[in-house]
Amino acid sequence: MAETTRLDLRTILRRDKLKDTDATSYKWTDDTVNEAINDAIRDYSQHFPVPKKCTVSHVDNQSLYSAPADLRDVRYLASTGGVRYTYLSPGDFEERIVLDSGYSGGIAQEDFLETRHVKYALSGFYTKWGTGISLSPVPVDDLTLYYNANHGIPTSDGEWLTIPQEDLDLIVLFTWATCLMREASADALLSRWDETPGRRDDNPVILQSSRLFTLYKQRVNERIALREEYDNHYP
């Protein structure tokens, strides 16, 4: 991965795309371009997240664990003892005994709760509660978590981006389109684009921005189809 900083990227955008290189009278401020870069990284992360793996140390009788701060979604979650956890929505998680165990009141619920762990010897469930992950059954071993993470949002001009070099064109496209879209939003207040008969309503900046977003989506879809590294690589 080549080392590209936020400043490098902003320079490329101003020079090659926005044609906005006069530092004494920028059309788009640094803050505006930086915000558009951040939006591009967030969108890119939805399609090409960073695959990560971590170990979660279990605590006796604890079912709720903190999720990694950069977690987008869980790919695979299992205990070292072999219990694999699959996702249930919060509502279904609350009803898991009825929905997934077949409990119908034929035995005392207390007895059922004592025996249900036999059924789930190799499977369990998790759901997300706020910034945490709730597990059932309660783990008795450490957990291995494979997950998708967001790419980092740079907080300074000298910070390296985590976007692969071959995908920087996607960030450039999305940022360029976003800057134009914001320009068009500001221009919409001008009278020459209003709905008065005889006035223009075909702001070319809107059309250009729309075309760039369309091109971005096309390239994203093409790369998704070609890349196997974003498939689930876990046991």
Give the per-residue pLDDT at 196.
Answer: 53
- Distances in Å between the Cα of 99 and the Cα atoms of 94, 110, 119 are 10, 17, 14
Question: Tokens 């898991």 appear where?
Answer: 96
pLDDT along the chain (235 residues), means of 10: 86 96 94 97 95 93 90 89 80 50 42 39 67 86 93 96 95 97 69 51 78 96 80 53
Whether residue 191 is found in the same domain as residue 167: yes
pLDDT for res 92: 60
The H or E element spanning position 5 is none
Q: Which of 123, 149, 175 corresponds to the end of one domain?
A: 149
Q: Are residues 90 and 137 in the same domain?
A: yes
For residue 220, the enclosing domain spans: 6-49+153-226
pLDDT of residue 52: 93
Task: Please check whether residues 137 and 179 belong to one and the same domain.
Answer: no
**Has residue 235 been placed in a domain?**
no
In a domain, 163, yes or no: yes
Residue 233 lies in a domain: no
Helix (H, G, I), strand (E, B) or coil at 132: strand
The pLDDT, as a whole number, for residue 137 is 82
**44 and 19 in a common domain:** yes
- Looking at the fold, whether 143 and 157 belong to one and the same domain comes out as no
Asked if 160 and 190 sit in the same domain, the reply is yes
Residue 94 is predicted with a pLDDT of 53
Residue 56 shares a structural domain with residue 10: no
User: Same structural domain for residues 41 and 56?
Assistant: no
Residues 86 and 97 in one domain: yes
pLDDT at residue number 186: 66
| 149 in Cβ contact with 52 (< 8 Å) | yes
Residues 59 and 144 in one domain: yes
Torsion over CA: 78, 226, 3, 49 (sign): negative
pLDDT in the model for residue 85:
87
Structure-token match 């939805």, residue found: 46
**Tell me, what's the pLDDT at 201?**
52
Q: Which pLDDT value is given to residue 18?
A: 96
Check: CB of residue 151 under 8 Å from CB of residue 50: yes
Q: How high is the pLDDT of residue 222?
A: 93
Tokens matching residue 235: 């046991």
